[in-house]
Each structure stands twice: as structure tokens, then as C-alpha cells.
């Protein structure tokens, strides 16, 4: 089953996306812990798209599609902003971030640790990021 949601390029709308993801996952009896982890991962990706993506048309939206299968949940996140290939991201050294008192820089690392599968495609007009997590649904 698939569910879709469009979010404007506005940080103020991220809470609506988090509620959408939470509601879909709870509807399918995903545990609170796994729900919270996936919400964190999707929120991080969407926040980065909104903050750094800079679409040419501010009327564009970020489209999130959730597909729930027998033993996994997949998110497809489509945007029209600047491409960022999450797969080419190299993780920071946490000790260095602490020494430099740097804020941020660990969100993508969290996404890569939370999700079991990540795919990225970039074309001339859109970027597609797929995040999948294997789950055990509660009865």
C-alpha cells in the first residue's frame, strides 16, 4: 500500500510531514521505537532538502511516498532542488565536531545508520531518494 504527501519548501511545514509519517506507520502497527527512528530519518532528509536544496521554483513541493510491504517500509522522497547524493557523503569524525564545537553535521550519518537501504537518483528536473527499513509489525 502507498501513501503520498506533498510538503512545501518551508521548515514550518516539517511538523505536518512528521505527523503524516507517524500516522501511516502507526496505522500499520509499526512499533513506537521504529516509528520514531524512521520519522527522524525522513525529517532529517526533508529538512536538508528544504534548507539546502534551493529549488528554482519556490512553488515546487517535496513529495514523500510511503510504501508499506510485508516486512519493510520504504520512503521515496522527490524534490526539484540542488542534488545532494547521500551515498557519496562521508561521515564526520565525531571527536572533531566536538572539538570544533560545530553544530550539526551528524544528521545524514543518523539516516545512514537508521535505514537499511538507501538509493539516490538525480535527473535534470528532479532528485529521488529512496530509504527502506526492514521492520517487524506489531500484532
Cell output for 53 = 536544496
In a domain, 85, yes or no: yes
Structurally, the chain folds into a number of domains equal to: 1
In a domain, 102, yes or no: yes
Q: What is the pLDDT of residues 36-91, one digit of tens each?
A: 999 999 999 999 888 887 766 767 899 999 999 999 999 999 998 877 666 665 66
Please give the residue range of the domain that contains residue 33: 2-134
In a domain, 68, yes or no: yes
CATH number at residue 35: 3.30.565.10
CB atoms within 10 A of CB 37: 19
Q: What is the pLDDT of residues 103-130, one digit of tens each?
A: 555 567 788 899 999 999 988 889 999 9
Sheet holding 127-134, edge to edge: 2-8, 61-68, 72-79, 127-134, 117-122
In a domain, 58, yes or no: yes
Amino acid at each position: 500500500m502507498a501513501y503520498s504527501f506533498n510538503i512545501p519548501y518551508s521548515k514550518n511545514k516539517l511538523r505536518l510531514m512528521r505527523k503524516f509519517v507517524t500516522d501511516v506507520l502507526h496505522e500499520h502497527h509499526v512499533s513506537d521505537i521504529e516509528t520514531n527512528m524512521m520519522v527522524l530519518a525522513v525529517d532529517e532528509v526533508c529538512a536538508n532538502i528544504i534548507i539546502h536544496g534551493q529549488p528554482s521554483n519556490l512553488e515546487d513541493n517535496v513529495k514523500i511516498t510511503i510504501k508499506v510491504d510485508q516486512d519493510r517500509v520504504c520512503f521515496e522522497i522527490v524534490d526539484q532542488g540542488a542534488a545532494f547524493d547521500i551515498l557519496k557523503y562521508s561521515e564526520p569524525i565525531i571527536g572533531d565536531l566536538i572539538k570544533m564545537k560545530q553544530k550539526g553535521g551528524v544528521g545524514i550519518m543518523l539516516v545512514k545508520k537508521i535505514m537499511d537501504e538507501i538509493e539516490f537518483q538525480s535527473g535534470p528536473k528532479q532528485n529521488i531518494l529512496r530509504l527502506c527499513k526492514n521492520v517487524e509489525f506489531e500484532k
